[in-house]
Chains A and B, each alone.
Chain A
Amino acid sequence: VNCRQAAEELSRAQDEPAGGFWLRVHLAGCRDCRRFRHQLAVLADASLPAPEDGVGDERLSDSARSRIAAALAETPDES
């Protein structure tokens, strides 16, 4: 078992139960992979709520605004 395989397994463990005994043994003796594990945890922690809160300051362009407003106005009232 080497770091490359351990890194793959650590990544897989983010998505499903993974990581057997061999991984724990490797991590116990490998500070680099423990650091990578921490990086993955931080990354997952920050990624989870996803761009739900709409970060950034971009705005919908004026052309898109009027296009969408027009499309909404044209949509027949089916109900």
Chain B
Amino acid sequence: MSRGVEPTERAAADPSGWVERHGDYLYRFAVAAVRHREAAEDLVQDALLAAWRARDVFAGDASERTWLTAILKRKVVDWLRRRVVERDFAAESDSFADGLFDRRGHWKRRPAAWGELDEPVARDEFRAAVAGCLGHLPERLHAAFVLRYLDERPGGEVCSELGLTPANLWVMLHRARLRLAACLTRTWLGGERS
């Protein structure tokens, strides 16, 4: 490979610098979304290779990192999609939800009063707590939840691509949210309030 050194060559076409400049950032992005160290490393690699192949497309109107992140995000979304397979969730009972409500469908324990995230510090703390609680979700619920917020598309589109019925996806998201709400009340508020 003997490409002449062009004085006008853009930074985006310097893949050796990518790992140095963006590797940690991209890895954190990936590992937060997929929770698997090795899978996250592979995704970063896939994304950088894809970026290298598509480097001529890089318009230069976004920052290099933003561009690489967008490519990584698509890889992550694909990975998560493969984790969310069709299953008739709506038909299965959810023992976790069963524990939250009594037979008449009332909350067994009243939901805690959460404050607002007015301060940036509070927001950061909360997001750290969310990351921790996401770690405790069952794999499919985790994948569905992350996908929902990573994909930035209406739920209907997300589930048609996943081959899920809307009901299935919403059941999964709801189950994820119930777990997250309970977990965050524990870890973020640090105790129940009534």
List chain A positions with a Cβ less than 8 A from chain B.
2-5, 7-8, 11-12, 14-16, 31-33, 35-36, 38-40, 42-48, 50-52, 54-61, 64-65, 67-69, 71-73, 75-79
Given contacts A32-B111, A56-B32, contact A48 B149 (CB under 8 A): yes
Chain A contacts for B1, CB-based, 8 A: 76-77
A39 and B184 alpha carbons, distance in the complex (Å): 9
List chain B positions with a Cβ less than 8 A from chain A.
1, 3, 15-16, 18-19, 23-29, 31-33, 37, 41, 44-45, 48-49, 52-53, 55-56, 69, 97, 100-101, 104-107, 110-114, 116-117, 123-124, 126-128, 130-131, 145-146, 148-150, 154-156, 166, 169-170, 173-174, 177-178, 180-181, 184-185
A47 and B18 alpha carbons, distance in the complex (Å): 27
Return 16 A-B CB contacts under 8 Å, by A number: A2-B101, A3-B106, A11-B177, A15-B169, A35-B112, A35-B113, A35-B114, A39-B111, A39-B114, A45-B117, A58-B28, A60-B41, A64-B45, A65-B19, A68-B44, A77-B3
* Chain B binding surface, main DSSP class: helix
Are B130 and A54 in contact (CB-based, < 8 A)? no
* Chain A binding surface, main DSSP class: helix
> Closest residue of chain B to A79, judged by CB?
B56
Chain A contacts for B185, CB-based, 8 A: 39
Are A43 and B101 in contact (CB-based, < 8 A)? no
> Closest residue of chain B to A40, judged by CB?
B177
Q: How far is the CB of B170 from chain A (nearest CB, A)?
A: 5
Q: How far is the CB of A72 from chain B (nearest CB, A)?
A: 4
A44 and B32 alpha carbons, distance in the complex (Å): 17
Q: How far is the CB of A6 from chain B (nearest CB, A)?
A: 9
Are B49 and A71 in contact (CB-based, < 8 A)? yes
Are B31 and A4 in contact (CB-based, < 8 A)? no
Are B177 and A43 in contact (CB-based, < 8 A)? yes
